[in-house]
Structure 1
Amino acid sequence: MQHNGPQDENSGSQRKRKRWLNFEGAWKKLYEVRWGDCGAQIHSISWLAKQFEAKHELRDDWQQMYWERHLQNCLDAAAEIAMVPSFSDGIGVIKIPATIVRCIGYWEHMNSSACDYSKFSDHCQHFGLYARRLRLPSALCLPEICDLLRTSNLETLEIHWIKLKDHVDGICELLKQNSETLKSIEFVHCKLSTSFIDAICDSLWIKGLKTHGIEHFSIRISNFLDTSSSTLPAGLASFLSSGRCLSSLSLSDDHLRRNFVEMILDVLFDSSSNIAALDLSENYMSGWPSHFKWTSRPGKQLSSGIGKSLQSLRVLNLRNNNLQRDDVDFLKYALVCMPKLESLDLSDNPIEDDGIKNMMPYFVEMSEKPFSLIDLKLGQCELTFNSVSQLLNVLSRWKKPLTSLSIGENNLGSKIGALLGKFLSKGLQSLDIDDIILVLPAFRKHKMK
């Protein structure tokens, strides 16, 4: 029987959507049975993940997630073999373990099937088109990987342990191949010379355009080999200054020193990007860039063209950088350039009571404004009751109260209990007070109901 008309077309569309939903449920079940979790295999920073989902209205595609996770299992298995010193073949011919092949039901047909799925290249050929988020160890960062993943449209790429020119050459080709779709790239445990950094950054430009589409760029637990230079690698400087899409930059635990960080901040201060999250934690930045003291003042209105990137900053992580009290004195001038800042992490820095006192004029001035800061971390900063009590008094007067405060692992003594109890009634939702002594009766008396 033939069906015509809009009503039949709508009915057909509904049936197709119902079948699609049924298949989605089946793919989800297969995913859960095989891996036992519904989490992504590569986790971006939580702030970036939330922003990306909100911007792109992501929805679960369980078939895509299943084959992407399967391909990542194949990549990890191939890397283990390729890392053996005696391995000398191409990575495409690496045999995938039977435990993985059995999971997709092809082990029984390997001798009769035209494509037996025993080789790494077979899995890349058939499932590469599902790959959006992948993690690559250095052993697979070879020119051959570009051909193996030629059907992929990578959006997120995490790269581990590159330290040789061959690794960089291979990964640069893959970056060029995916420059139009790539949004997030992260380097972990890498050794990067100036020439390596330049080559990587140059590979991220979209063909025919003088810009890139990278939103999140991260280098962590790595070594920059030429940080003593008086200039930034040209490729990195150009990348930071020309990426209007760049919203998150992480250079964490990279053994960076003051001069290198200062050059990074100088580029960001004058760039056209809209950085919203900046992570410079776990470096060595003692001697905070003092030029901020001369370019800004609390209460001074910033022009729209000055420090555009810092004006858009919402998350700043400076944890464990050996910042001293004088560094914090300069920091308050830098914060003036960040009117939208929501989260500030200064934990694990020995700023002491004088450091908090140096920042107090800034906090006092902000109490008169609809300040955006809602998350403040000052754990393990060698603070005492004197400075923290003053800080709590100032913070309690803010028009827009904090929602999260961390002051744990400081020697605050028992007297802080009553003040914390009162402060909780101001709208605080999260309070970290690990390893400080409290007078429990006083704290209970004022705790939020």
Structure 2
Amino acid sequence: MVNVPSLVSLSIDAVKRELLHKDDLLSHVYELPPELFNSLVKCLPPLALQKLQSEMPFKNYDDYDSTSNDLKNGRKRGRNGNFETAWKALFKLRWPDLVKHVQSVDWQQIYWETHVQNCLDEAAELALLPSFSGCLGEIQISENIMKYIGYVDHMSNSGSDYLKLSYHCQQFGCYARCLRLQNVLCVAESCQLLRNSKLQSLLVRWIRSVEHADGLCKLLSQNCRTLTSLEFVHCKLSSSFMDAICGSLYLRGVETHQIQHFSISTSSFLEMDPVSLAHRLASFLNSGRSLRSLKLCDNHLDWNFAQRVFSTLLDASSGLSSLDLSENNIAGWLSNFNWRSSALLSPSGMTKSLQSLRILNLRGNNLRKDDAGSLRYALVHMPSLEILDLSDNQIEDDGIRSLIPYFTEASRKCCPLTDLNLENCELSSDGVTQLLDVLSTLEMPLNSLSVADNRLGRSIWLSETKRCRNGELDAC
């Protein structure tokens, strides 16, 4: 038997179509009883829902509740929850794999932000084609994306502004907080397209030309008051580019920026003299009073560069909580640090420290046993360190032995070390056994210890299993 649609469902379908094309019905829709209004909200496509919510005449989207008692009392309640539920459902329908990764209190914002990102990604693919020679804003958005937001009926009009990237950026760019941009989008035109955005996080890829660097700096300047996270991936950087970045992020009248998270990964540096670039980066770090995490990963950095960066952070008594220098080649970077090193003292004789550093990642840096010995003295000046990753470094048993005094001392602190990663460090069963002997006696045992991919043999696993059974080590 064929299901016959109800009068209510037919009416809702008609209203949905009218909302996409005209504004005449809006005033009447707002007068609907709560039950019908809520049913309509649940069925609207994104464009119609956007129009309905943005044109609401009631402050805070208030309306009378649906229960008879509440109607008699005239008590009002917010409709915000109904809209939020509808936006979350639309987000889940369009991006089912992303919804579990989103912790949002504003599903309307995250919906349109993700939509803008999809439009920009699609535009970048077309702009990268050798045959492309037009303006970014004129790029037409695909039928697939248009269907998701409810513009199916407009597809026959290929000249419609609704189909252009410029329309989507101008209408919904104000919801964009976090974006990822390919180099082809880092041009002056993008500043105009995203002029309504208040970016808080920006990730850029493949910046390799002056044109892209200049376009990016204009975009950074446009968002300098709101931007707190900046990431570079697969880029080529120079000291002049670093200077330009600093200049574009500085707040007007003061040489300081608000970046909290700064990352350069899988990139290269154009300078013949790495000291010059390190100096520019040091200037950037010095001007970042809010900096909380710094990631310089897989950039072919040498010991001199790493030493200068670390010294800069130390000199400034930085409030950094996370430092990632992984996948570089910085063996010898702490060769000047030892127990009587003047590098750890300020001009007044006070001990320098990284009081807030909680995470230190030195994975894959070609560190040797001598580096581990020097690291011991530097770690003492990181009193809040909780997570240390030394994996993929050939520090060997002697390196571990030189760090054991630090592990013992760290366990007595109010914020002791909790996670230690020593994978693929050329350790033998003797070295790991000695380490386990010490760890089992600590006042505060580790939460996590990884010694995988070392030449340990069967005996160490039998010993470790015994320790776990005896409760001598919390995490084996």
Taking structure 1 as the reference length, what is the TM-score of the superposition? 0.83
* Equivalent residue for 1:199, pick from 241, 244, 252: 244
Deviation at 1:23, TM superposition (A): 1.1
Cα deviation digits, residues 60-89 of structure 1 (max 9, x gap):
211111111111010000000111122111
SS in 2 for 1:414: helix
Aligned pairs for 1:138-177 (under 5 A) are 138-177=183-222
The residue aligned with 1:3 is none
Report the Cα offset of residue 428 of structure 1: 2.5
Q: Structure 2 residue aligned with 1:398, among 442, 449, 452?
A: 442
Q: 2:288 aligns with which of 230, 243, 247?
A: 243
SS in 1 for 2:295: strand
**Partner of residue 105, structure 1:** 150
Q: Alpha carbons of 1:196 and 1:272: their partners in 2 closer, same or farther (altered >3 Å)?
A: same
Counterparts of 1:67-82 in structure 2, within 5 Å, are 67-82=112-127
CA distance in 2 between counterparts of 1:161 and 1:183 reads 21
The alpha-carbon deviation at position 178 of structure 1 amounts to 0.5
Tell me if the contact between 1:214 and 1:245 (Cα under 8 Å) persists in the aligned partners: yes
- Identify which range, 134-143 or 203-212, moves more after superposition: 203-212
1:296 is displaced (CA, Å) by 5.2
SS of 2:126's equivalent in the other structure is helix
Deviation at 1:38, TM superposition (A): 3.6
What is the match of residue 83 of structure 2?
23
Q: 1:186–1:217: 8 Å Cα contact kept in structure 2? A: yes
Following TM superposition, by how much is the alpha carbon of 1:335 offset from its aligned partner in structure 2, in angstroms?
Answer: 0.5
Does 1:289 find its partner at 2:349?
A: no
Distance 1:120 1:20 in 2: 29
- The answer on whether the counterparts of 1:115 and 1:122 sit within 8 Å (CA) in structure 2 is no
Q: Secondary structure at the match of 1:329?
A: helix
Secondary structure of 1:79's counterpart equals helix
Q: Distance in 2 between matches of 1:174 and 1:223?
A: 22
Q: Quote the offset at 1:39 in angstroms.
A: 4.4
Distance 1:115 1:274, change over 3 A: farther
Distance apart, 1:196 and its partner CA: 1.3
Aligned to 2:397: 353
Paired with 2:303 and 2:259, the residues of 1 have a C-alpha distance of: 26
Cα offset, 1:229, TM superposition: 3.1
CA distance in 2, matches of 1:80, 1:60: 31
Name which of structure 1's ranges 80-89 and 228-237 shifts more when overlaid on structure 2. 228-237
Q: What CA distance in whole angstroms lies between the structure 2 residues aligned with 1:227 and 1:377?
A: 34
The residue identity in structure 2 corresponding to 1:165 is V
CA distance in 2, matches of 1:245, 1:83: 36
How many residues in Structure 1 have an aligned counterpart in Structure 2?
A: 405
Hey, what does 1:37 align to over in structure 2? 97
- Determine the C-alpha separation between the residues in 2 that align with 1:13 and 1:282: 65
Q: State the SS of the aligned residue for 1:180.
A: coil
Distance (whole Å) between structure 2 residues aligned to residue 324 and residue 413 of structure 1? 22
Correspondence for 2:297 among 245, 252, 268: 252
User: For residue 315 of structure 1, what is the aligned residue in structure 2?
Assistant: 359
Alpha-carbon offset, residue 371 of structure 1: 5.4
Shift of 1:96: 1.2
Query: Structure 1 pair 304/161, CA: closer, same or farther in 2 (3 Å)?
Result: farther
1:428 counterpart residue number: 474
1:380 aligns with 2:440: no
Residue identity in the other structure for 1:352: E
What's the CA shift for 1:361? 2.7
- Give, in whole Å, the separation in 1 of the partners of 2:160 and 2:361: 50
Structure 1 residues 113, 286: CA separation in 2 closer, same or farther (over 3 Å shift)? closer
The answer for the alignment partner of 2:381 in structure 1 is 337
TM-aligned CA deviation for residue 146 of structure 1: 0.5
SS in structure 2 of the partner of residue 210 of structure 1: coil
Contact 2:411 2:445 survives alignment (8 Å)? no
- Matched residue SS, 1:245: coil
Q: Name the aligned partner's letter for residue 415 of structure 1.
A: S
Contact 2:206–2:234 under 8 Å retained in 1: yes
- Native 8 Å contact 2:64 2:77 kept in 1: no
Tell me the CA shift for residue 288 of structure 1: 2.9
Aligned equivalents of 1:355, 1:260: Cα separation in 2: 23
Q: Greater CA deviation, 340-349 or 354-363?
A: 354-363
Work out whether residues 322 and 349 of structure 1, in 8 Å CA contact, stay in contact via their aligned partners in 2: yes
Aligned-residue offset at 1:209: 2.6
Q: Read off the aligned partner of 2:398 and give its amino acid letter.
A: D
2:258/2:288 contact within 8 Å kept: yes
Deviates more, 1:167-176 or 1:98-107: 98-107
Report what 2:271 is aligned to: 226
Q: What letter matches 1:122 in structure 2?
A: Y
Hey, what's the Cα distance between the residues in 2 that align with 1:278 and 1:213?
18
Give 1:102 shift. 1.5
Structure 1 unmatched runs, 5+: 1-7, 44-57, 432-449
Distance 2:377 2:122 in 1: 50
| Corresponding residue of 2:46 | none
RMSD: 2.9
Larger radius of gyration: 2
Contact 2:92 2:99 in 1 (8 A): no
Which amino acid letter does the alignment assign opposite residue 395 of structure 1?
A: L
CA–CA distance in structure 1, aligned partners of residues 281 and 113 of structure 2:
30
Equivalent position SS for 1:292: coil
Shift of 1:99: 1.1
Aligned partner of 2:299: which letter? D
Q: 1:15 to 1:158 in 2, by over 3 A?
A: farther
Question: Which 5+ residue runs of structure 2 have no aligned equivalent?
Answer: 1-62
Mapped to 2, the partners of 1:207 and 1:40 lie a distance apart of: 39
Fraction of identical pairs, as percent: 52
